[in-house]
Amino acid sequence: MGNAGVIRLGWRSLVTFCLLLAVVCGTNSALACDVVAPNPLASFGVASSLTVAGSAQQTSAQPNAGVECSAPILSVLGSDYVNATITSANGGQLQVATGDTIDYDISADPGGEVPLTLGTTYDYYNATLLDLLGLLGSSDPIELPMYFRTLPGSADNVAAGLYIDTLTVNWNWSVCEGIGIGGLCLGRDNGSGTSTVTLQLEVLPDCVIDAPDLDFGSAPLVAGFSPVTRTLSVRCTKGQAYSVGLSDGQHAASGQRRMASSGEFLRYELYKGASGLSRWGRQGAERRDSTQADNAPGNHDGVTAQGFIYRGIIDDAQSTPPAGVYTDTVVVDIEF
């Protein structure tokens, strides 16, 4: 009987010892953190120069900032850290081939509450950030994020093109892989790595057009209408040449512009400049090039509006139509 009791005790002790080994060995079977995305992309997408100047563009590194940690974050030990230090090829600016730049901010959270400063080491494994991201207490693996936002004030007047910056993120970490009885760390993963994040924003050309209405006034006969001169103003993206066209209107017939009122028509035409009879249209030579503007011709500085003078004339060779208010709508179009 005595020998049997000793055998049972030894068997139980062996089982307990093996289970402990299983826990310790299991925690060391894989890295707690690793660089899983060495070349993330953070694309702001496509936006016009006016949009970029007026509102912040936002994006995040995809699929993540580079590092994934598989160890559950049930709690954060004081000795745990996942440090990131960021450097920029362009000093924290998106840059295009022409040399124009757009500033941007970096943060560890989508709301920008945890800013990341170039050259400064930041610990992603802190309770404040993990709680802000909704990860504290999670038993799931996590991908460490990185968010970006452009600063509109730095993009008031930029050229079109593909703006790029390259960030190098140096990672180093020390993370407990498992916590035993009494809060003791059963295994620790110490590691380091690098991810290279490419930021890009494609800026498209755009224009601001000021096209005042043209009013011929009133007259009892078509011969009583005088020519009316107006100036159409255009300001386009910095460095962008363009041409301006005018549509034939809503009621044109055989290339002749017409105003309409209750099924009746009044023929008129729009001509380039304050004098002459060169029709301003939307096709080929009828268009007007930005180098041919009447005011600031060829000025593509992105700040100065170019002025295009035009003249409206009512055809006095037509019969006077019935009295009424005759109208038409002409569309101004820009081609780059």
- Spatial distance between the Cα atoms of 237 and 158, rounded to a whole number of angstroms: 7
Output the pLDDT for position 299: 97
Dihedral sign computed on CA atoms, order 265, 271, 273, 277 = negative
Q: Report helix, strand or coil for 9.
A: helix
Kindly indicate the confidence band of residue 76, based on its pLDDT and cuts at 50, 70 and 90.
Answer: low
- Spatial distance between the Cα atoms of 125 and 79, rounded to a whole number of angstroms: 10
Output the pLDDT for position 4: 39
With CA atoms as reference, report the closest residue to 195 among 62, 45, 71: 62
Q: What mean pLDDT do residues 188-210 have?
A: 97
DSSP 283: S
CB atoms within 10 A of CB 254: 5
Q: What is the pLDDT of residues 205-226, one digit of tens each?
A: 999 999 999 999 999 999 999 9
Q: What is the pLDDT of residues 276-304, one digit of tens each?
A: 899 999 999 999 999 999 999 999 999 99
Domains of the chain: 31-204 (2.60.40), 207-335 (2.60.40.1090)
> What pTM, to 2 d.p., does this model score?
0.83
Output the pLDDT for position 183: 66
Radius of gyration of the chain (CA): 35
Q: Nearest 10 degrees: CA dihedral of 13, 15, 16, 21?
A: 120
Output the pLDDT for position 138: 72
Residue with the larger pLDDT of the pair 131 and 147? 147
Are the C-beta atoms of residues 73 and 143 closer than 8 Å to each other? Answer: no
Output the pLDDT for position 127: 82
Q: What mean pLDDT do residues 254-266 have?
A: 97
Q: Which residues contact 234 (CB under 8 A, 6 or more apart)?
A: 207, 208, 209, 210, 242, 244, 290, 293, 305, 306, 308, 334
Q: What mean pLDDT do residues 61-67 have?
A: 96
Beta strands in 205-331 (DSSP E): 207-210, 228-236, 243-246, 258-261, 264-272, 288-289, 306-314
Q: Which residues contact 103 (CB under 8 A, 6 or more apart)?
A: 92, 93, 94, 150, 151, 153, 154, 155
Output the pLDDT for position 29: 41
Dihedral sign computed on CA atoms, order 30, 33, 39, 44 = positive
- Spatial distance between the Cα atoms of 273 and 271, rounded to a whole number of angstroms: 6
- Spatial distance between the Cα atoms of 2 and 205, rounded to a whole number of angstroms: 93
Residue 19 has pLDDT above 70, yes or no: no
